[in-house]
Amino acid sequence: MSQEHSNLFPDVMPDTPERVTHEGKNKFFGLWFFLGGETVLFASLFGTYLALKNSTAGGPSSEEIFGLELVFVMTMLLLTSSLTSVYAMYHMRNADFKKMVLWLSITGLLGTGFLAFEVYEFAHYITEYGFSFRSSAFGSAFFSLVGFHGGHVLFGLCWLLAILIRNAKRGLNLYNAPKFNTFSLYWHFIDVVWVFIFTVVYLMGKVG
Amino acid sequence: MSSIAATGKRGFGSFLWDYLTTVDHKKIAHLYIAGGAFFFILGGIEALIIRIQLIKPENDFVSAGFYNEIITMHGTTMIFLAAMPIMIGLMNAAIPLQIGARDVAFPFLNSLSFWLFMFGGLLLNVSFMTGGAPDAGWTNYASLAMNSSGHGVDYYIAGLQIAGAGTLMGGINFLATVVTMRAPGMTYMRMPLFTWASFITSVLILFAFPALTVNLFLLMFDRMFDSAIFDVALGGNTIIYQHLFWIFGHPEVYILILPFFGAFSDIFSTFARKRLFGYTAMVFATMIIAFLGFMVWAHHMFTVGLGPVANSIFSVGTMAIAVPTGIKIFNWLFTMWGGQLKINSAVLWALAFIPSFTIGGMTGVMLGSAVADYQYHDTYFVIGHFHYVIVGGTVFGIFAALHYWWPKMFGRVLNEAMGQVTFWLFFIGFHLTFFIQHFLGLMGMPRRYWVFLKDQGLELGNVISSIGAFFMAAGVIVFVYNIIHSAAKGEKADADPWDARTLEWTVSSPPPYYNFEQLPLVRGLDPLWIEKMEGDGKMSPGEPLDDVHMPNNSFIPFLMGLGFFIAGYGFIHQTDNSLWYIALYGGMAFSIGCMVVRSLKDDYGYYIPKEELQKAVEEEAK
Amino acid sequence: MAEESKDNLEAQSFKKQKSKEEMQRQLISFGLMIVFTLIAFAIVITDSIDSMYVVPILFIMAFVQAAFQFYYFMHLKDKGHAMPALLMYGGVWCAFLTLCALMVITWW
């Protein structure tokens, strides 16, 4: 019983520490299944966006307002944060708690950077172009889709903060390894959704 | 904890607190069934109001506006607050026991799912008292819903959003449970059909509810924050609502029926004392029904103008679902053939289900012809169809499953004589009410109209239909009395009152709070029956006797539900007065705060010492 | 005793080797993802490809990137991922149906 909470070291580290305990298996499957549902959720938002992206109600269209440079920077930030979370899990499997926390923190910083740019982008649209949530169906659909994704990023960052705080003094053990892995899977999924957002919304928005 | 269970004596306060904080799937099942039954009564009263209003032409028992609220709430309540919760309650009661597990994968989440349902349902019904219930139909289509004055539709959005979140969590919970927590020897193809069907239903829940979530969010944004998704003037499109609604809505009706298909399989094989005919075919037929169920949603939209190509594709798909369903019907018949079918209340409901659901399925195929549907759409023919499948399928299934699993859940057997009285009253009433409605529809009576006109030949049919409703009400009253009577004076149930075949009948009725002292070793399909036929009638243990890890109770799920309820109420009323933002933000902050507390505070559960389990094993052996 | 610790050390170094290789594969995946992203942006910014082909190419880039994320970053190729893979593909199928509905049969 107490083995679950005792710190892990490289020589006793199982191959997949996040799935060795029963709770670990449950969290693993639970999150993957949740991601299956999230796929349908984002598909509904994407579909709504695709149906409405040309309904500009006389306002600005996607070609006019999207700035690809900003989107590129945001993409690099999020993609890199995905890699850093892979690094974090690599260190977790090597039972290196300190390095795992380091790389997870970098992940969080990159994610925060992404969000900051996104907030700036939204504010820019609203103030410069009058392009808002209410200005047209295109606007409502855009802000719903990209906003929901941003909301997921925000939730992920809060989650990351909570698990880092909670486990700061505990080290790595079989009880919290699944928690870190579950977060990491969620974070990767957020990045997958972003890949489709920058492709479908921004890149195709510019192609017209 | 065990001492209370042993003596059975404790105050009402501790009984209440136990139920408010439980994470035990068996108690959560009780809560779901009680909650669902409460809303079933509400929905039934709404049905009676409808039938009284329609007992004669141009009646004015209720006003037109109130009638719209009543029909909306009848549908919404029956589907989301009665049928689904009772179904989830039965899944909670039976699945862990059937697979030989001690609880579901996420007990805390299980409790949260229940309280979200409860508070969502309460929010929805509070609307009656604060200016009017939702009145745009249970489907709440965007154009009508957008223009519905008052807050009714906002209650629909908030109430269903909260309750729907609970259901989605429940789906994930059961999926993980079946994947990771089966007892040793319990392979997928040895699981009872109720568990299989519930597993497949959970996949449906996982994929269908997110579409509803998005739809409700978009409608909420449009109504409360003036966005333009459905606002045609700003380029919006109301067909999007219909697509998203039915992409959820069609799988939803399969969610309502598949677990009961599974329950009927278990009931038929148990009481015919014969293994299920074509187990593998039944499993795959259920999977095919689920798969096809996602591909036919636009058969609710034949008259929208999607065009002949789309209509044809969905028409063919709709008819295709009849094939796996027919396989199941035949397999149930073949299960009974050559068996020694015992007739009791559960079996009566199961037997009645077969022709009733088949009639409903048949009218479904009629509706599936896109061409013919132009005549049937929005008439009472449709109402006749879906009540035949939902009442003839889901409600009959609820009654059958309640009779079957009541002893396991509550330790009492429901009175058989009263059970049969309920059955006959309800069965006769059901056919009186809904069979005639097919003809009313064919004669041109539109649905959702608060009156019908004189001298159109509709009077007699409506009178018959209304009389049937009172028969059903009488049947339900007898059933409620049966429950109360059996609680007070009913015969106590032993572990296996039906001489059954599956693992839930190997533990006492009701089971000990940890379900199994040692998880059983499963040797094949119908594991208990194998032991009865080839062994000593008892399961062998599948693991050594050891300390058992159990989760702690928690009040947090209740508090989270309460927080979201307050936030929902604030959301709805913030358009009236900005002060309601306090409720909105306060409620959200409170619930999120509860989540943070849950995440940061240690709760490792507790252990049942080996010695206590040892004693229980020894007592059983005596 | 000496045997055991020798086996243990060998096992450890084998594991270390394996996880190093795994990490290299992850880095290669990341590199490829960056490349695909750059290509996608370049195609749109430079306007160099015929407009009929741009959208399919962008989709392919996105799907390949997503596949790398799932199979490598999220370990979907590893043992024990059959059920997650099944349900993800199920979700993708339902997502596809939803997108078809909202793109193909939604007008007015």
| pLDDT digit string, tens, across residues B281-310 | 999 999 999 999 999 999 999 999 999 999
Which tokens belong to A105? 């923190």
User: Cα separations (Å) of A108 from A38, A167, A189?
Assistant: 21, 16, 15
Cβ neighbours for A151, distance < 8 A, ≥ 6 positions apart = none
Residue B1's pLDDT is what? 43
Mean pLDDT of chain A: 93
Tokens 């999207």 found at: A66
Among partner residues C40, C84, C88, which is closest to A199 by beta-carbon distance? C40
Burial class of residue B178, CB neighbours in 10 A (0-12, 13-18, 19+): buried
Interface residue B412 vs chain C (CB under 8 A) = no
The answer, yes or no, to whether residue B441 has pLDDT greater than 50, is: yes
Express each pLDDT in B593-608 by its tens digit: 999 999 888 889 999 9
The answer, yes or no, to whether residue B6 has pLDDT greater than 60, is: no
Residue C14's pLDDT is what? 81
CA–CA dist B494, B514 (Å, integer) = 18
For B535-547, the DSSP string reads: SSSSPPBSS----
Q: Are C33 and C65 in contact (CB under 8 A)?
A: yes
Q: Are B403 and B424 in contact (CB under 8 A)?
A: no
Burial class of residue B58, CB neighbours in 10 A (0-12, 13-18, 19+): exposed
The answer, yes or no, to whether residue C52 has pLDDT greater than 90, is: no
Half-sphere exposure of A32 (CA within 13 A, CB side): 28
Among candidate residues B440, B115, A45, B38, the one with its CA nearest the CA of residue C99:
A45
Angle, CA A14 vertex, CA A12 and CA A19 arms, to 5°: 140
> What 3-state DSSP class applies to B492?
strand
Instruction: Tell me which chain C residue has its CA closest to the CA of residue B296.
Output: C97
CA–CA dist B615, B114 (Å, integer) = 34
Q: Are B567 and B584 in contact (CB under 8 A)?
A: yes
Cβ neighbours for B604, distance < 8 A, ≥ 6 positions apart = A5, A175
Distance from the Cα of B542 to chain C's closest Cα (Å) equals 23
Based on C-alpha coordinates, what's the Rg of chain B?
24
CA–CA dist A180, A177 (Å, integer) = 5
User: Cα separations (Å) of B266 from A125, B154, B271?
Assistant: 59, 41, 9
Instruction: Tell me which chain B residue has its CA closest to the CA of residue A142.
Output: B229
Among candidate residues B184, B65, B78, the one with its CA nearest the CA of residue B125:
B78
> What 3-state DSSP class applies to B548?
strand
Mutate to test the interface with B, among C86, C88, C93, C94 (most CBs of B within 10 A): C94
Distance from the Cα of C29 to chain B's closest Cα (Å) equals 29
Yes or no, beta carbons of C87 and B307 under 8 Å apart: no
Among partner residues B105, B210, B222, which is closest to A44 by beta-carbon distance? B210
Mean pLDDT of chain B: 95
Based on C-alpha coordinates, what's the Rg of chain A?
20
Q: Are B572 and B225 in contact (CB under 8 A)?
A: no
The answer, yes or no, to whether residue C4 has pLDDT greater than 90, is: no
Interface residue B13 vs chain C (CB under 8 A) = no
The answer, yes or no, to whether residue B2 has pLDDT greater than 60, is: no
Interface residue A6 vs chain B (CB under 8 A) = no
Continuous H helices in B127-238: 142-147, 152-180, 193-225
Mutate to test the interface with C, among A20, A69, A91, A192 (most CBs of C within 10 A): A192
- Chain A neighbours (≥3 Cβ pairs under 8 A) are B, C
The ipTM of this complex is: 0.95
User: Which residues of chain C does B203 touch, with a Cβ-Cβ cutoff of 8 Å?
Assistant: 87, 90
Residue B93's pLDDT is what? 97
Interface residue B288 vs chain C (CB under 8 A) = no
CA–CA dist B29, B90 (Å, integer) = 6
Residue A3's pLDDT is what? 67
Q: Are B237 and B326 in contact (CB under 8 A)?
A: no
| β partners of residue B200 | none
In single-letter form, the type of residue at position A62 comes to S
Yes or no, beta carbons of A35 and C88 under 8 Å apart: yes
Express each pLDDT in B481-514 by its tens digit: 999 999 999 889 999 999 999 999 999 999 999 9
Mean pLDDT, rounded, for C82-90: 95
> What 3-state DSSP class applies to A168?
coil
Half-sphere exposure of B285 (CA within 13 A, CB side): 23
Mutate to test the interface with C, among B306, B309, B311 (most CBs of C within 10 A): B306
Residue A11's pLDDT is what? 73
Distance from the Cα of B239 to chain C's closest Cα (Å) equals 6
CA–CA dist B48, B487 (Å, integer) = 28
Which tokens belong to A56? 């500009």
Instruction: Tell me which chain A residue has its CA closest to the CA of residue C82.
Output: A29
Interface residue A37 vs chain B (CB under 8 A) = yes
How does strand B548-550 pair with strand B606-608? antiparallel
| β partners of residue B446 | B379
Among candidate residues B92, B75, B77, the one with its CA nearest the CA of residue B38:
B77
CA dihedral sign, ordered B143, B149, B154, B156? negative
User: Quick one: what percent of chain A has pLDDT higher than 70?
Assistant: 98
Confidence band of B394 (pLDDT split at 50, 70, 90): very high
User: Quick one: what percent of chain B has pLDDT higher than 90?
Assistant: 94
Mean pLDDT, rounded, for B470-480: 98
CA–CA dist B198, B321 (Å, integer) = 19
Interface residue A137 vs chain B (CB under 8 A) = yes
Query: pTM for the complete prediction?
Result: 0.96
CA–CA dist B335, B580 (Å, integer) = 59
The answer, yes or no, to whether residue A12 has pLDDT greater than 70, is: yes
Burial class of residue B464, CB neighbours in 10 A (0-12, 13-18, 19+): middle
B237: left (phi over 0), alpha (psi -120 to 50) or beta: beta
Interface residue B376 vs chain A (CB under 8 A) = no
Yes or no, beta carbons of B294 and C101 under 8 Å apart: no
Among partner residues B180, B226, B228, which is closest to A29 by beta-carbon distance? B180
B106: left (phi over 0), alpha (psi -120 to 50) or beta: beta
Yes or no, beta carbons of A90 and C19 under 8 Å apart: yes
For residue A208, count other CB atoms closer than 10 A to its CB.
Answer: 10
**Interface list for A 117-176 with C (CB within 8 A):** none
Confidence band of B7 (pLDDT split at 50, 70, 90): low
Q: Are B125 and B80 in contact (CB under 8 A)?
A: no
Mutate to test the interface with A, among C41, C55, C103 (most CBs of A within 10 A): C41
Distance from the Cα of A24 to chain B's closest Cα (Å) equals 10
CA–CA dist A44, A201 (Å, integer) = 14
Mutate to test the interface with A, among B180, B207, B549 (most CBs of A within 10 A): B180
User: Which residues of chain B does C106 touch, with a Cβ-Cβ cutoff of 8 Å?
Assistant: 237, 239-240, 243
User: Which residues of chain C does A79 touch, with a Cβ-Cβ cutoff of 8 Å?
Assistant: 30, 33-34, 37
Instruction: Tell me which chain B residue has its CA closest to the CA of residue C88.
Output: B207
Interface residue A161 vs chain B (CB under 8 A) = no
The answer, yes or no, to whether residue B237 has pLDDT greater than 60, is: yes
Among partner residues A33, A140, A162, which is closest to B227 by beta-carbon distance? A140
Among partner residues B207, B238, B239, which is closest to C90 by beta-carbon distance? B207
Q: What is the DSSP code (8-state) at residue B298?
A: G
User: Which residues of chain A does C16 touch, with a Cβ-Cβ cutoff of 8 Å?
Assistant: 94
Among candidate residues B14, B138, B592, the one with its CA nearest the CA of residue A154:
B592
Among partner residues C90, C102, C104, which is closest to B240 by beta-carbon distance? C102
Residue B3's pLDDT is what? 46
Continuous H helices in B321-368: 322-336, 345-368
User: Which residues of chain A does C4 touch, with a Cβ-Cβ cutoff of 8 Å?
Assistant: none
Phi and psi of B338, rounded to 5°?
A: 85, 0
B547: left (phi over 0), alpha (psi -120 to 50) or beta: beta
Instruction: Tell me which chain B residue has its CA closest to the CA of residue A25.
Output: B180
User: Which residues of chain C does A10 touch, with a Cβ-Cβ cutoff of 8 Å?
Assistant: 12
CA–CA dist B89, B602 (Å, integer) = 29
Mean pLDDT, rounded, for B366-373: 96
Q: Are B123 and B568 in contact (CB under 8 A)?
A: yes
Cβ neighbours for B393, distance < 8 A, ≥ 6 positions apart = B256, B257, B260, B353, B356, B357, B360
Among partner residues B179, B206, B294, which is closest to C97 by beta-carbon distance? B294
Tokens 């299934």 found at: B397
Element (H, E) at B606: strand B606-608
Residue A2's pLDDT is what? 59
CA–CA dist B134, B170 (Å, integer) = 26
Residue C51's pLDDT is what? 83
Confidence band of A48 (pLDDT split at 50, 70, 90): very high
CA–CA dist A197, C88 (Å, integer) = 19
Among partner residues B175, B207, B307, which is closest to C91 by beta-carbon distance? B207
User: Which residues of chain A does C65 touch, with a Cβ-Cβ cutoff of 8 Å?
Assistant: 192, 195
Mean pLDDT, rounded, for B349-355: 98
User: Which residues of chain C does B298 touch, with a Cβ-Cβ cutoff of 8 Å?
Assistant: 101, 105
User: Which residues of chain B does A40 touch, with a Cβ-Cβ cutoff of 8 Å?
Assistant: 207-208, 210-211
Yes or no, beta carbons of C90 and B298 under 8 Å apart: no
| β partners of residue B178 | none
For residue A11, count other CB atoms closer than 10 A to its CB.
Answer: 12
Q: Are B101 and B519 in contact (CB under 8 A)?
A: yes
Yes or no, beta carbons of C88 and A32 under 8 Å apart: yes
Yes or no, beta carbons of B179 and C105 under 8 Å apart: no
Burial class of residue C47, CB neighbours in 10 A (0-12, 13-18, 19+): exposed
Cβ neighbours for C102, distance < 8 A, ≥ 6 positions apart = A44, A47, A48, A50, A51, B240, B243, B244
Instruction: Tell me which chain B residue has its CA closest to the CA of residue A167.
Output: B600
Among partner residues C54, C70, C91, which is closest to A40 by beta-carbon distance? C91
Residue B9's pLDDT is what? 62
**Interface list for B 159-198 with A (CB within 8 A):** 168, 171-173, 175-176, 179-181
Among candidate residues B411, B405, B435, the one with its CA nearest the CA of residue B498:
B405
Q: Inter-axis angle of helices B459-489 and B416-442, to 10 degrees?
A: 160
